[in-house]
Each structure stands twice: as structure tokens, then as C-alpha cells.
């Protein structure tokens, strides 16, 4: 216990907060020592605060049941006994920005699952296998916030992680035009079928704000670090449609892509199979050993069969073939609340620790 970093979860009673709780159970580097939520939950044990609202199939870990939930707005109290914070709150955007900056100013690293700071120039938005170099902007951010040890790092939108890794692995062929339709699970809205019965036997062809995020956030991740923060890339041109489907977990993407230098199918499959990023090089605890897994079967990947590949941290792909309008089309899949949410944030925290950005506090 004494060798582990003390982790606080702000927004610990919601679905993503619950996923953090489960993923951090027995983690080799981090241990949950504090949970904060709204004032309504504060003062109760964690078990009491989520009674009747536990949304995961995995049971609540015993170690967190008796932790007293704190008021997330009492920043100094929550921050004083933790080395880092995972944040997954349900608040207005400006309130989230202010809250996360307040935590960072206490000298506490904040790894955020929220969208509020994704376009703040000096806040890195990271998929660890794709753009670990963006962590360099933390130095600029610390200077702005007036802290030597605190900062905010954010995880991108869950939908793009179903298709961006497969495109990034092909970056040497320079993707130029991309069309994506995502088929997104209801847990992406923090829902289960029990509390969203309207989704049973139904498809909703609209998810508010999702298409804008899916088209623009990849360009920031593919962007470059400058003295003014991260400058987004200009290509490829991406257009998307995002559809809610009656699936519990797992976001699937149907992708059409053209390249400046069209690869062969063999080159694409080799690129996917061999792709490794910084997490694999560092052998981080949550890193998938095989980041992208390609299925030869015509009916794979499937959400029910393949979303949990590599403990939910891997990307699945299939149905690669040439297209009549674009160079290629294929399907890819990710687990939206693991790789796309809490698991992706835990991997960011592992990368930050391994690269020296997170240290034990000297209390």
C-alpha cells in the first residue's frame, strides 16, 4: 500500500466513476483512497451513496465500500490526501473547467474524462499510443496555473477511439479523406437498458455534439506542440455520423478512407499487426500487448464477442476491402467505457507516472 500512489475519484458515483473504481481495484501503481461527488452524496459511505445505482455487472470492490464520500466542491479537503485525481463529473462545461483547474492549482495532477478542457491549448488530450509527445505542453500549463506539480490532462471522446488507432497505424500512407459512421452503445450516455427502456429494439440516429467531436478531436490529437500549446492538424478531412444502437457496451465504426499514398491490403494488415506505441514500449500495466487485432472472419468484430479484447483496452478490426469511391473500407471496434473512458484515463495516468509527471506528494 505505502508504495502506491493515492488516487482520488471526483465524480465517483456515476457510471464512469464506477468503472474507475473497478479498474483500480488491485492496480499495481494506484490505490483509491478518496471518492468525491455531489453534496447529496457527501457524508455517506460509498456503498450507501450508490445503493440501487450500481450500473456495472462487476461487483463493487470491498475495499471502497466503507470509504466516506466527500463533497467534490471542497477542493482543498479532497486534494490534501491524494497524489492524483481522476475526474468524471456531470456538471456544466464552465463549472467543470473551474473545478479541474482548482484541483490542479493545489498541486494535484488531474486526469479528466470530461470534455471541458479538450480544446484548452495547453491541456494535453491524449491517446497514449498516438500522441504521448503532447504531454510536453504541461510545462506551459503549469506556468499559467502557477503550480509546480499540478496539471490537467484529458482523455478524448470515446467514439474516436474505435477508429482513430486503426487510421493512425496507417499514418505513413497519409490518410486524406475519411468517412465514418459510428454505432454507439448506450453506456456512452451513462445508461443501462434498465433505465433507458426506450433503447430496446430501437436505433436513434442522433447523439448531441458527438459528430462535431468525432470530426475535430482527431485533428487535435494529430496536431503539433507549439509555444502556444497544441495546434491541430489540417488533415485528413473527416466527416461522421454517430448513431445510438441497442448495445450495452462497445462502439463500432464503419470507416471509408482514401490515402495520398495508397497502401496494399497486405501493407495495411502488417501495419495494424505490428503497431506499438509508448505504452507497449514501457509495458504499462493497462497497456494492451496487441493494440490492434484483425479478424479474418467476415462477421467480425462483433460487440458482444470482441469488445473485451485485451481487457477492454484493445482495438478490433475487420472486413478490410477495397472500395469503389474510397481506397478502402473496414470496420473497427473499441470498448467505450474501458478504452474509451475510465481505462483510457488510467492508461494516461500510467504514462504520466512512467514519464515522471506524477510523483508522491510530500505532505
40-92 residue pLDDT tens:
999 999 999 999 999 898 999 999 999 999 999 999 999 999 999 999 998 99
Is 103 in a helix, a strand, or coil?
Answer: helix
**Residue 363 — very low, low, confident or very high, per pLDDT cuts 50/70/90?**
low
237-244 and 175-184 beta bridge pairing: parallel
Catalytic positions are: 158, 251
Burial class of 284 by CB neighbour count within 10 A (0 to 12, 13 to 18, 19+): buried
Residue 112's DSSP bridge partners are 87, 154
- pLDDT at res. 362: 81
Give kind and range of the element (H or E) at residue 239: strand 237-244
**Residue 114 — very low, low, confident or very high, per pLDDT cuts 50/70/90?**
very high
Is the CB of residue 287 less than 8 Å from the CB of residue 280? yes
**Is the confidence at residue 94, as pLDDT, over 50?**
yes
pTM over 0.75: yes
Is the CB of residue 27 less than 8 Å from the CB of residue 5? no
- pLDDT at res. 1: 45
DSSP string for residues in 123-183: S-B--TTT-GGGGGGHHHHHHHHT-SS-EEEE---TGGGGTHHHHHTTGGG-EEEEEEEEE
27-39 residue pLDDT tens:
999 999 999 999 9
163-208 residue pLDDT tens:
999 999 999 999 999 999 999 999 999 899 999 999 999 999 999 9
Q: What is the DSSP letter of 311?
A: G
Q: Is the four-CA dihedral 253, 271, 327, 302 of positive or negative sign? A: negative
SS3 content of the chain, % helix, strand, coil (to 5): 35, 25, 45
Residue 31's DSSP bridge partners are 6
**Is the confidence at residue 2, as pLDDT, over 70?**
no
Amino acid at each position: 500500500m505505502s508504495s502506491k500512489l493515492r488516487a482520488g475519484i471526483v465524480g465517483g458515483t456515476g457510471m464512469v466513476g464506477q468503472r474507475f473504481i473497478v479498474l483500480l481495484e488491485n492496480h499495481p501503481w494506484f490505490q483509491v483512497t478518496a471518492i468525491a461527488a455531489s453534496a447529496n452524496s457527501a457524508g455517506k459511505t460509498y456503498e450507501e451513496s450508490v445503493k440501487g445505482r450500481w450500473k456495472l455487472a462487476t461487483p463493487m470492490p470491498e475495499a471502497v465500500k466503507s470509504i466516506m464520500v466527500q463533497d467534490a466542491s471542497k477542493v482543498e479537503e479532497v486534494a490534501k490526501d491524494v497524489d492524483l485525481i481522476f475526474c468524471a463529473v456531470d456538471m456544466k462545461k464552465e463549472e467543470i473547467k473551474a473545478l479541474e483547474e482548482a484541483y490542479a492549482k493545489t498541486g494535484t495532477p488531474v486526469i479528466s474524462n470530461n470534455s471541458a478542457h479538450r480544446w484548452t491549448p495547453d491541456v494535453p488530450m491524449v491517446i497514449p499510443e498516438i500522441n504521448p509527445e503532447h504531454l510536453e505542453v504541461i510545462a506551459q500549463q503549469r506556468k499559467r496555473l502557477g503550480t509546480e506539480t499540478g496539471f490537467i490532462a484529458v482523455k478524448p471522446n470515446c467514439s474516436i477511439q474505435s477508429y482513430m488507432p486503426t487510421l493512425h497505424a496507417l499514418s505513413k500512407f497519409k490518410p486524406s479523406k475519411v468517412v465514418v459512421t459510428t454505432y454507439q452503445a448506450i453506456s456512452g450516455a451513462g445508461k443501462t437498458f434498465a433505465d433507458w427502456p426506450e433503447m430496446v429494439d430501437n436505433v436513434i440516429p442522433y447523439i448531441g455534439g458527438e459528430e462535431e467531436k468525432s470530426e475535430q478531436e482527431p485533428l487535435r490529437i494529430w496536431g503539433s506542440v507549439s509555444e502556444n500549446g497544441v495546434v491541430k492538424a489540417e488533415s485528413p478531412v473527416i466527416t461522421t455520423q454517430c448513431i445510438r444502437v441497442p448495445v450495452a457496451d462497445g462502439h463500432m465504426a464503419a470507416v471509408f478512407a482514401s490515402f495520398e499514398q495508397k497502401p496494399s491490403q497486405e501493407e495495411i494488415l502488417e501495419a495494424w499487426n505490428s503497431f506499438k506505441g509508448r505504452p507497449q514500449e514501457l509495458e504499462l500495466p493497462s497497456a494492451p500487448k496487441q493494440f490492434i487485432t484483425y479478424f479474418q472472419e467476415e462477421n467480425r468484430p462483433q460487440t458482444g464477442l470482441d469488445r473485451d479484447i485485451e481487457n477492454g483496452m484493445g482495438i478490433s478490426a475487420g472486413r478490410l476491402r477495397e472500395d469503389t469511391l474510397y481506397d478502402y473500407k473496414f470496420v473497427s471496434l473499441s470498448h467505450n467505457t474501458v478504452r474509451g473512458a475510465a481505462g483510457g484515463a488510467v492508461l494516461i495516468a500510467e504514462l504520466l507516472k512512467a514519464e515522471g509527471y506524477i510523483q508522491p506528494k510530500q505532505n
